[in-house]
Structure 1
Amino acid sequence: MLSSLVPSPTIDLGAARAKNRTTTRPTTSSAPQPIDTIASPVTRTAVSLEYASLCYNMHCPLGMYIVPSNENLLVWDAVFFVHQGYYTDSILKFRLTFPASYPEKPPVVQFLTDVFHPLISQQTGVFNLAPRFRPWRPKEHHVFDVLHWVKAAFKKHALDGIKDSDCLNKEAFRYHDTTSSFAALATQSSMLSQSSSALFDRDHPSMNGKHRDGMMFRELKPQQSAALRTKLGLGEWDDEA
Protein backbone atom coordinates (compact mmCIF):
# COMPACT_ATOMS: atom_id res chain seq x y z
CA MET A 1 0.00 0.00 0.00
CA LEU A 2 1.43 3.35 -0.95
CA SER A 3 2.37 5.64 1.89
CA SER A 4 1.44 8.65 -0.21
CA LEU A 5 -1.25 8.65 -2.86
CA VAL A 6 -1.39 9.99 -6.38
CA PRO A 7 -4.73 10.07 -8.20
CA SER A 8 -5.55 6.70 -9.72
CA PRO A 9 -7.18 6.29 -13.17
CA THR A 10 -10.03 4.51 -11.38
CA ILE A 11 -10.94 7.60 -9.34
CA ASP A 12 -13.72 9.69 -10.83
CA LEU A 13 -12.27 13.16 -10.43
CA GLY A 14 -15.12 14.67 -12.43
CA ALA A 15 -17.67 13.51 -9.88
CA ALA A 16 -15.92 15.53 -7.20
CA ARG A 17 -16.66 18.66 -9.21
CA ALA A 18 -20.32 17.84 -9.78
CA LYS A 19 -22.92 20.42 -8.87
CA ASN A 20 -23.59 20.80 -5.15
CA ARG A 21 -20.83 18.30 -4.28
CA THR A 22 -18.04 19.17 -1.84
CA THR A 23 -14.95 17.27 -0.77
CA THR A 24 -12.22 17.44 1.82
CA ARG A 25 -9.67 16.20 -0.70
CA PRO A 26 -7.97 18.29 -3.39
CA THR A 27 -9.48 18.00 -6.88
CA THR A 28 -8.37 19.20 -10.25
CA SER A 29 -9.44 22.62 -11.45
CA SER A 30 -11.35 23.21 -14.66
CA ALA A 31 -9.78 26.66 -15.06
CA PRO A 32 -8.43 27.03 -18.61
CA GLN A 33 -4.69 26.80 -19.10
CA PRO A 34 -2.68 27.19 -22.30
CA ILE A 35 -2.15 23.98 -24.21
CA ASP A 36 1.53 23.26 -24.81
CA THR A 37 2.03 22.99 -28.57
CA ILE A 38 5.83 23.24 -28.40
CA ALA A 39 6.81 20.14 -26.47
CA SER A 40 8.01 17.24 -28.57
CA PRO A 41 6.55 13.73 -28.33
CA VAL A 42 9.76 12.74 -26.54
CA THR A 43 9.15 15.34 -23.83
CA ARG A 44 5.48 14.46 -23.44
CA THR A 45 6.33 10.77 -23.17
CA ALA A 46 9.04 11.48 -20.59
CA VAL A 47 6.65 13.54 -18.46
CA SER A 48 3.95 10.87 -18.70
CA LEU A 49 6.38 8.20 -17.55
CA GLU A 50 7.52 10.41 -14.68
CA TYR A 51 3.95 10.72 -13.44
CA ALA A 52 3.33 7.00 -13.79
CA SER A 53 6.49 6.32 -11.77
CA LEU A 54 4.99 8.09 -8.75
CA CYS A 55 2.86 5.00 -8.20
CA TYR A 56 5.97 3.03 -7.23
CA ASN A 57 6.63 2.56 -3.54
CA MET A 58 8.36 5.58 -1.92
CA HIS A 59 8.53 7.55 -5.19
CA CYS A 60 5.88 10.02 -4.07
CA PRO A 61 6.93 11.42 -0.67
CA LEU A 62 4.67 10.90 2.31
CA GLY A 63 2.36 13.87 2.73
CA MET A 64 2.39 14.97 -0.92
CA TYR A 65 -0.42 14.70 -3.46
CA ILE A 66 0.16 15.41 -7.14
CA VAL A 67 -2.38 16.10 -9.91
CA PRO A 68 -1.50 16.86 -13.55
CA SER A 69 -3.46 19.59 -15.30
CA ASN A 70 -6.39 18.44 -17.42
CA GLU A 71 -5.36 20.84 -20.17
CA ASN A 72 -1.57 20.76 -20.05
CA LEU A 73 0.45 17.64 -19.34
CA LEU A 74 3.51 19.76 -18.58
CA VAL A 75 1.87 21.42 -15.56
CA TRP A 76 1.39 19.51 -12.32
CA ASP A 77 -0.23 20.90 -9.17
CA ALA A 78 0.64 19.58 -5.74
CA VAL A 79 -0.09 20.00 -2.06
CA PHE A 80 2.38 19.19 0.70
CA PHE A 81 1.25 18.47 4.26
CA VAL A 82 4.30 19.03 6.48
CA HIS A 83 4.46 16.56 9.36
CA GLN A 84 7.49 17.66 11.36
CA GLY A 85 10.10 20.35 11.90
CA TYR A 86 9.82 24.13 12.02
CA TYR A 87 6.97 24.05 9.48
CA THR A 88 4.88 21.35 11.19
CA ASP A 89 1.21 21.37 10.13
CA SER A 90 1.81 23.62 7.13
CA ILE A 91 -0.41 23.00 4.11
CA LEU A 92 1.59 24.16 1.11
CA LYS A 93 0.42 24.28 -2.48
CA PHE A 94 3.05 24.28 -5.20
CA ARG A 95 3.33 23.74 -8.95
CA LEU A 96 5.75 21.93 -11.22
CA THR A 97 6.09 23.26 -14.75
CA PHE A 98 8.12 21.22 -17.21
CA PRO A 99 10.13 22.98 -19.94
CA ALA A 100 9.64 21.97 -23.56
CA SER A 101 13.17 20.56 -23.45
CA TYR A 102 12.51 18.19 -20.53
CA PRO A 103 14.30 15.99 -19.46
CA GLU A 104 17.34 17.98 -20.59
CA LYS A 105 16.32 20.77 -18.21
CA PRO A 106 14.60 20.38 -14.81
CA PRO A 107 11.03 21.39 -14.01
CA VAL A 108 10.38 24.72 -12.32
CA VAL A 109 8.94 24.44 -8.80
CA GLN A 110 6.79 27.39 -7.70
CA PHE A 111 5.03 27.64 -4.34
CA LEU A 112 1.56 29.13 -4.60
CA THR A 113 1.18 29.34 -0.83
CA ASP A 114 3.17 32.09 0.86
CA VAL A 115 5.94 30.45 2.88
CA PHE A 116 8.92 31.95 4.71
CA HIS A 117 11.84 29.80 3.53
CA PRO A 118 15.43 30.57 2.43
CA LEU A 119 15.07 28.74 -0.89
CA ILE A 120 11.70 30.26 -1.85
CA SER A 121 11.37 33.68 -3.47
CA GLN A 122 8.92 35.91 -1.62
CA GLN A 123 8.06 37.68 -4.89
CA THR A 124 7.40 34.73 -7.21
CA GLY A 125 7.29 31.64 -4.99
CA VAL A 126 9.98 29.96 -7.10
CA PHE A 127 11.91 27.27 -5.22
CA ASN A 128 15.66 26.87 -5.78
CA LEU A 129 16.59 23.34 -6.87
CA ALA A 130 20.30 24.15 -7.28
CA PRO A 131 21.57 22.98 -3.86
CA ARG A 132 20.45 19.44 -4.69
CA PHE A 133 20.80 19.38 -8.48
CA ARG A 134 24.05 21.06 -9.39
CA PRO A 135 24.07 20.33 -12.25
CA TRP A 136 20.84 18.70 -13.38
CA ARG A 137 21.62 15.30 -14.96
CA PRO A 138 18.74 14.19 -17.22
CA LYS A 139 19.70 10.51 -17.22
CA GLU A 140 20.14 10.40 -13.45
CA HIS A 141 17.63 12.83 -11.94
CA HIS A 142 13.86 12.37 -11.97
CA VAL A 143 10.76 14.15 -10.74
CA PHE A 144 10.52 11.98 -7.63
CA ASP A 145 14.03 13.21 -6.75
CA VAL A 146 12.74 16.78 -7.05
CA LEU A 147 9.76 16.02 -4.81
CA HIS A 148 11.93 14.40 -2.16
CA TRP A 149 14.26 17.42 -2.22
CA VAL A 150 11.28 19.77 -1.76
CA LYS A 151 10.25 17.77 1.30
CA ALA A 152 13.78 17.52 2.67
CA ALA A 153 14.31 21.28 2.33
CA PHE A 154 11.83 21.84 5.16
CA LYS A 155 13.83 19.71 7.60
CA LYS A 156 16.56 20.92 9.94
CA HIS A 157 19.44 19.03 8.36
CA ALA A 158 18.77 20.61 4.97
CA LEU A 159 18.23 24.08 6.42
CA ASP A 160 21.57 23.78 8.22
CA GLY A 161 23.34 23.11 4.93
CA ILE A 162 21.89 25.96 2.88
CA LYS A 163 24.46 28.49 1.65
CA ASP A 164 23.86 32.21 1.38
CA SER A 165 24.52 32.13 -2.38
CA ASP A 166 21.61 29.72 -2.88
CA CYS A 167 19.07 31.75 -0.91
CA LEU A 168 16.25 33.38 -2.83
CA ASN A 169 14.93 34.83 0.43
CA LYS A 170 17.87 36.51 2.16
CA GLU A 171 15.76 37.50 5.16
CA ALA A 172 14.95 33.87 5.87
CA PHE A 173 18.67 33.06 5.83
CA ARG A 174 18.89 34.72 9.23
CA TYR A 175 18.05 31.23 10.42
CA HIS A 176 21.78 30.64 10.74
CA ASP A 177 22.10 33.61 13.11
CA THR A 178 18.94 33.51 15.21
CA THR A 179 17.28 30.12 15.22
CA SER A 180 14.56 31.20 17.64
CA SER A 181 13.49 34.10 15.39
CA PHE A 182 13.42 31.83 12.36
CA ALA A 183 11.39 29.22 14.23
CA ALA A 184 8.82 31.86 15.20
CA LEU A 185 8.49 33.09 11.61
CA ALA A 186 8.27 29.54 10.26
CA THR A 187 5.51 28.76 12.77
CA GLN A 188 3.66 31.91 11.75
CA SER A 189 4.00 30.88 8.10
CA SER A 190 2.58 27.47 8.98
CA MET A 191 -0.42 28.97 10.77
CA LEU A 192 -1.18 31.28 7.84
CA SER A 193 -1.06 28.36 5.41
CA GLN A 194 -3.86 26.69 7.40
CA SER A 195 -6.11 29.73 7.35
CA SER A 196 -9.41 29.64 5.49
CA SER A 197 -8.32 32.47 3.23
CA ALA A 198 -5.16 30.62 2.16
CA LEU A 199 -6.93 27.29 1.63
CA PHE A 200 -10.28 28.30 0.22
CA ASP A 201 -9.93 31.83 -1.21
CA ARG A 202 -8.47 31.75 -4.72
CA ASP A 203 -8.32 35.57 -4.69
CA HIS A 204 -6.07 35.63 -1.63
CA PRO A 205 -3.27 38.26 -1.92
CA SER A 206 -0.68 35.46 -1.93
CA MET A 207 -1.92 34.55 -5.43
CA ASN A 208 -1.00 37.94 -6.90
CA GLY A 209 1.23 37.45 -9.92
CA LYS A 210 0.93 33.66 -9.73
CA HIS A 211 -1.01 31.14 -11.77
CA ARG A 212 -4.18 29.81 -10.20
CA ASP A 213 -3.58 26.39 -8.70
CA GLY A 214 -5.41 23.24 -9.72
CA MET A 215 -5.75 21.98 -6.16
CA MET A 216 -9.17 23.10 -5.00
CA PHE A 217 -10.19 22.81 -1.35
CA ARG A 218 -13.76 23.23 -0.19
CA GLU A 219 -14.80 23.71 3.41
CA LEU A 220 -17.33 21.19 4.69
CA LYS A 221 -19.97 21.72 7.31
CA PRO A 222 -19.89 19.20 10.21
CA GLN A 223 -22.84 17.24 8.84
CA GLN A 224 -21.29 17.09 5.38
CA SER A 225 -18.02 15.84 6.83
CA ALA A 226 -19.82 13.19 8.87
CA ALA A 227 -21.77 11.98 5.83
CA LEU A 228 -18.61 11.77 3.73
CA ARG A 229 -16.72 9.87 6.41
CA THR A 230 -19.61 7.42 6.73
CA LYS A 231 -19.65 6.91 2.97
CA LEU A 232 -15.91 6.19 2.97
CA GLY A 233 -16.17 3.87 5.97
CA LEU A 234 -14.06 6.10 8.22
CA GLY A 235 -14.52 6.36 11.96
CA GLU A 236 -15.14 9.49 13.97
CA TRP A 237 -12.30 11.90 14.70
CA ASP A 238 -10.61 11.18 18.01
CA ASP A 239 -10.19 14.56 19.74
CA GLU A 240 -7.76 13.02 22.21
CA ALA A 241 -5.51 11.49 19.57
Structure 2
Amino acid sequence: MFSSPLRSPKPHLQQDPQDVSPLLTAELAIEFNSLKAPRGCPEGIYITPSKEGILKWNGVFFVHRGPYVGSILRFTILFPFTYPQNGPTLRFDSDVFHPMVDPKTKIWHARGRLSQWSPRVDHISHLLHSLKKSFKSKDLDSIQEDEAVNKQVWSLYNHSRQTFLSLTSQRSLQSSSRSTLFPGEYPAPPSPTRTRKISGQSMTEELGKQAIKFKEIDRDEEIMLWNDLKKSISG
Protein backbone atom coordinates (compact mmCIF):
# COMPACT_ATOMS: atom_id res chain seq x y z
CA MET A 1 0.00 0.00 0.00
CA PHE A 2 1.27 3.44 -0.91
CA SER A 3 1.44 6.27 1.57
CA SER A 4 2.88 9.75 1.46
CA PRO A 5 3.05 12.72 3.80
CA LEU A 6 1.22 15.95 3.02
CA ARG A 7 4.12 18.02 1.77
CA SER A 8 4.59 21.44 0.23
CA PRO A 9 3.32 21.52 -3.36
CA LYS A 10 5.58 22.10 -6.31
CA PRO A 11 5.31 25.53 -8.00
CA HIS A 12 1.84 25.77 -9.55
CA LEU A 13 1.79 25.59 -13.30
CA GLN A 14 -1.09 26.51 -15.57
CA GLN A 15 -3.20 23.38 -15.74
CA ASP A 16 -4.08 21.94 -19.12
CA PRO A 17 -7.37 19.97 -18.81
CA GLN A 18 -6.01 17.48 -21.32
CA ASP A 19 -3.22 16.58 -18.88
CA VAL A 20 -5.75 15.27 -16.32
CA SER A 21 -6.56 11.65 -17.03
CA PRO A 22 -10.19 10.48 -17.16
CA LEU A 23 -9.45 8.21 -14.20
CA LEU A 24 -8.21 11.11 -12.07
CA THR A 25 -11.20 13.21 -13.12
CA ALA A 26 -13.52 10.41 -11.98
CA GLU A 27 -11.64 10.06 -8.67
CA LEU A 28 -12.02 13.75 -7.90
CA ALA A 29 -15.68 13.76 -8.93
CA ILE A 30 -16.35 10.91 -6.49
CA GLU A 31 -14.47 12.75 -3.73
CA PHE A 32 -16.42 15.96 -4.29
CA ASN A 33 -19.79 14.21 -4.43
CA SER A 34 -18.97 12.36 -1.20
CA LEU A 35 -18.88 15.72 0.59
CA LYS A 36 -22.63 16.04 -0.07
CA ALA A 37 -23.39 12.96 2.02
CA PRO A 38 -24.44 13.35 5.69
CA ARG A 39 -21.33 14.29 7.70
CA GLY A 40 -19.34 14.20 4.49
CA CYS A 41 -18.27 17.83 4.87
CA PRO A 42 -17.94 19.22 8.41
CA GLU A 43 -20.35 21.94 9.49
CA GLY A 44 -18.83 25.36 8.96
CA ILE A 45 -16.65 24.32 6.01
CA TYR A 46 -17.62 25.03 2.40
CA ILE A 47 -15.85 23.72 -0.69
CA THR A 48 -16.07 24.53 -4.40
CA PRO A 49 -13.87 23.53 -7.37
CA SER A 50 -11.72 26.32 -8.76
CA LYS A 51 -12.22 27.77 -12.23
CA GLU A 52 -8.48 27.29 -12.71
CA GLY A 53 -8.86 23.53 -13.00
CA ILE A 54 -10.11 20.36 -11.38
CA LEU A 55 -6.89 19.88 -9.39
CA LYS A 56 -7.60 22.96 -7.27
CA TRP A 57 -10.50 23.44 -4.85
CA ASN A 58 -11.32 26.56 -2.86
CA GLY A 59 -12.67 26.43 0.68
CA VAL A 60 -13.87 28.62 3.53
CA PHE A 61 -13.76 27.56 7.18
CA PHE A 62 -16.04 29.31 9.71
CA VAL A 63 -14.63 28.55 13.16
CA HIS A 64 -17.47 28.27 15.68
CA ARG A 65 -15.67 27.11 18.83
CA GLY A 66 -12.31 27.18 20.56
CA PRO A 67 -9.50 29.74 20.69
CA TYR A 68 -10.08 30.68 17.03
CA VAL A 69 -13.83 31.26 17.41
CA GLY A 70 -15.16 33.84 14.95
CA SER A 71 -12.37 33.32 12.42
CA ILE A 72 -13.30 33.04 8.75
CA LEU A 73 -10.41 31.27 7.03
CA ARG A 74 -10.01 30.74 3.31
CA PHE A 75 -7.92 27.86 2.03
CA THR A 76 -7.01 25.96 -1.11
CA ILE A 77 -6.76 22.21 -1.66
CA LEU A 78 -4.23 21.24 -4.34
CA PHE A 79 -4.28 17.74 -5.83
CA PRO A 80 -1.21 16.17 -7.47
CA PHE A 81 -1.48 14.37 -10.80
CA THR A 82 -0.68 11.20 -8.86
CA TYR A 83 -3.78 11.42 -6.65
CA PRO A 84 -4.95 9.27 -4.86
CA GLN A 85 -1.57 7.53 -4.52
CA ASN A 86 -0.24 10.82 -3.16
CA GLY A 87 -2.27 13.07 -0.90
CA PRO A 88 -3.45 16.65 -1.51
CA THR A 89 -2.00 19.80 0.03
CA LEU A 90 -4.16 22.14 2.10
CA ARG A 91 -2.86 25.68 2.12
CA PHE A 92 -4.42 28.74 3.74
CA ASP A 93 -4.76 31.88 1.66
CA SER A 94 -3.62 34.15 4.49
CA ASP A 95 -1.46 33.88 7.61
CA VAL A 96 -2.96 31.55 10.22
CA PHE A 97 -1.56 31.60 13.76
CA HIS A 98 -1.60 27.84 14.40
CA PRO A 99 1.05 25.32 15.61
CA MET A 100 0.44 23.03 12.61
CA VAL A 101 0.50 25.74 9.93
CA ASP A 102 3.86 26.59 8.36
CA PRO A 103 4.29 30.40 8.67
CA LYS A 104 6.22 30.58 5.37
CA THR A 105 4.17 28.35 3.08
CA LYS A 106 0.82 28.67 4.97
CA ILE A 107 0.40 24.91 4.55
CA TRP A 108 -1.54 23.05 7.23
CA HIS A 109 0.03 19.76 8.30
CA ALA A 110 -2.25 16.94 9.42
CA ARG A 111 -1.40 14.82 12.45
CA GLY A 112 -1.89 11.19 13.31
CA ARG A 113 -2.94 8.78 10.59
CA LEU A 114 -3.41 11.52 7.99
CA SER A 115 0.21 12.64 8.29
CA GLN A 116 0.89 9.69 5.97
CA TRP A 117 -1.67 9.54 3.16
CA SER A 118 -3.07 6.08 2.37
CA PRO A 119 -4.84 5.85 -1.00
CA ARG A 120 -8.44 4.60 -1.00
CA VAL A 121 -8.32 4.59 2.81
CA ASP A 122 -7.97 8.33 3.40
CA HIS A 123 -10.34 10.76 1.70
CA ILE A 124 -10.96 14.50 1.50
CA SER A 125 -13.80 14.18 4.01
CA HIS A 126 -11.33 12.79 6.57
CA LEU A 127 -8.93 15.64 5.83
CA LEU A 128 -11.60 18.30 6.38
CA HIS A 129 -12.83 16.75 9.62
CA SER A 130 -9.23 16.61 10.86
CA LEU A 131 -8.76 20.26 9.87
CA LYS A 132 -11.79 21.36 11.89
CA LYS A 133 -10.73 19.26 14.88
CA SER A 134 -7.22 20.76 14.86
CA PHE A 135 -8.62 24.21 15.73
CA LYS A 136 -10.27 22.98 18.94
CA SER A 137 -8.66 23.23 22.37
CA LYS A 138 -8.58 19.47 22.97
CA ASP A 139 -6.53 18.86 19.83
CA LEU A 140 -4.27 21.86 20.45
CA ASP A 141 -3.55 20.55 23.96
CA SER A 142 -2.32 17.24 22.54
CA ILE A 143 0.26 18.67 20.12
CA GLN A 144 3.81 17.82 21.16
CA GLU A 145 6.63 20.31 20.61
CA ASP A 146 8.54 17.99 18.28
CA GLU A 147 5.59 17.65 15.90
CA ALA A 148 4.61 21.33 15.87
CA VAL A 149 5.36 23.04 12.54
CA ASN A 150 5.32 26.52 14.08
CA LYS A 151 7.33 26.22 17.32
CA GLN A 152 6.75 29.85 18.28
CA VAL A 153 2.97 29.48 18.24
CA TRP A 154 3.21 26.16 20.10
CA SER A 155 5.31 27.83 22.80
CA LEU A 156 2.87 30.71 23.20
CA TYR A 157 -0.08 28.34 23.45
CA ASN A 158 1.60 26.22 26.13
CA HIS A 159 3.55 28.82 28.06
CA SER A 160 1.84 32.17 27.46
CA ARG A 161 -1.82 31.34 26.88
CA GLN A 162 -3.14 34.88 27.36
CA THR A 163 -0.77 36.26 24.74
CA PHE A 164 -1.79 33.47 22.37
CA LEU A 165 -5.50 34.17 22.90
CA SER A 166 -4.97 37.89 22.40
CA LEU A 167 -3.17 37.36 19.09
CA THR A 168 -5.70 34.84 17.79
CA SER A 169 -8.54 37.17 18.79
CA GLN A 170 -6.99 40.04 16.83
CA ARG A 171 -6.56 37.85 13.75
CA SER A 172 -10.10 36.54 14.11
CA LEU A 173 -11.50 40.06 14.08
CA GLN A 174 -9.44 40.90 11.00
CA SER A 175 -10.56 37.78 9.14
CA SER A 176 -14.24 38.64 9.74
CA SER A 177 -13.97 42.37 9.13
CA ARG A 178 -15.93 44.05 6.34
CA SER A 179 -12.77 44.99 4.47
CA THR A 180 -11.78 41.31 4.40
CA LEU A 181 -15.19 39.82 3.60
CA PHE A 182 -16.29 42.51 1.14
CA PRO A 183 -13.05 43.98 -0.30
CA GLY A 184 -14.88 45.47 -3.28
CA GLU A 185 -17.31 47.48 -1.14
CA TYR A 186 -14.94 48.24 1.75
CA PRO A 187 -11.35 48.48 0.43
CA ALA A 188 -8.65 48.72 3.06
CA PRO A 189 -6.79 52.06 3.29
CA PRO A 190 -3.44 52.28 1.45
CA SER A 191 -0.47 50.97 3.40
CA PRO A 192 1.60 53.94 4.71
CA THR A 193 4.91 52.06 4.48
CA ARG A 194 6.84 49.83 2.09
CA THR A 195 7.37 47.15 4.74
CA ARG A 196 6.00 43.63 4.48
CA LYS A 197 2.22 43.90 4.44
CA ILE A 198 0.44 42.02 7.20
CA SER A 199 -2.53 44.36 7.51
CA GLY A 200 -5.87 44.47 5.76
CA GLN A 201 -4.77 45.79 2.38
CA SER A 202 -2.61 42.87 1.24
CA MET A 203 -5.13 40.37 2.59
CA THR A 204 -8.14 41.94 0.92
CA GLU A 205 -6.31 42.34 -2.39
CA GLU A 206 -5.77 38.58 -2.46
CA LEU A 207 -9.19 37.60 -1.14
CA GLY A 208 -10.90 39.76 -3.73
CA LYS A 209 -9.60 37.35 -6.37
CA GLN A 210 -10.96 34.21 -4.72
CA ALA A 211 -13.65 31.94 -6.16
CA ILE A 212 -15.79 32.04 -3.01
CA LYS A 213 -17.05 35.57 -2.46
CA PHE A 214 -19.36 37.01 0.17
CA LYS A 215 -22.28 39.35 -0.42
CA GLU A 216 -23.45 41.76 2.24
CA ILE A 217 -27.22 41.75 2.74
CA ASP A 218 -29.50 44.45 4.11
CA ARG A 219 -31.96 44.14 6.99
CA ASP A 220 -34.94 43.17 4.80
CA GLU A 221 -32.94 40.38 3.14
CA GLU A 222 -31.79 39.16 6.54
CA ILE A 223 -35.38 38.95 7.83
CA MET A 224 -36.44 37.10 4.68
CA LEU A 225 -33.64 34.55 5.11
CA TRP A 226 -34.51 33.97 8.77
CA ASN A 227 -38.18 33.45 7.89
CA ASP A 228 -37.24 30.95 5.17
CA LEU A 229 -35.01 29.13 7.65
CA LYS A 230 -37.77 28.92 10.25
CA LYS A 231 -40.18 27.55 7.64
CA SER A 232 -37.69 24.89 6.54
CA ILE A 233 -37.11 23.79 10.15
CA SER A 234 -40.82 23.66 11.04
CA GLY A 235 -41.59 21.78 7.81
Give unpaired runs (5+ residues) of structure 1. 1-32, 237-241
Deviates more, 1:119-128 or 1:59-68: 119-128
Structure having greater relative contact order (Cα 8 Å, sep ≥ 6) = 1
Alignment pair present for 1:230 and 2:230: no
Distance of 1:99 and 1:140 partners within structure 2: 17
Give unpaired runs (5+ residues) of structure 2. 1-13, 188-200, 231-235
Relative to 1, partners in 2 of residues 1:34 and 1:208: Cα closer, same or farther, differing over 3 Å? farther
Deviations 1:54-75 (A, max 9, x none): 1111111011111112341121
Relative to 1, partners in 2 of residues 1:199 and 1:113: Cα closer, same or farther, differing over 3 Å? farther
**What does 1:147-226 correspond to in 2, within 5 Å?**
147-174=128-155, 175-201=157-183, 204-206=201-203, 212-220=209-217, 222=218, 225-226=219-220
* More helix, by proportion: 2
CA contact (8 A) 1:95 1:213 kept: no
Q: CA deviation at 1:114?
A: 2.7
Aligned Cα root-mean-square deviation (Å)? 2.7
Relative to 1, partners in 2 of residues 1:37 and 1:229: Cα closer, same or farther, differing over 3 Å? farther
Paired residue secondary structure (2:75): strand
Question: Could you state the TM-score of these two structures normalised by the residue count of structure 1?
Answer: 0.73
Paired residue secondary structure (1:128): coil
Q: Name the aligned partner's letter for residue 142 of structure 1.
A: H
- Tell me the residue number matched to 2:123: 142
Select 2:83's aligned residue among 102, 105, 112.
102
Paired residue secondary structure (1:75): strand
Select 2:54's aligned residue among 32, 53, 73.
73
Percent identity reads: 32
Deviations 1:144-202 (A, max 9, x none): 00000110010011111223333332221111222222122221221111112222238
Aligned length: 201
CA contact (8 A) 2:183 2:208 kept: no
Deviations 1:179-234 (A, max 9, x none): 222122221221111112222238842378999421112334x3xx5246537844
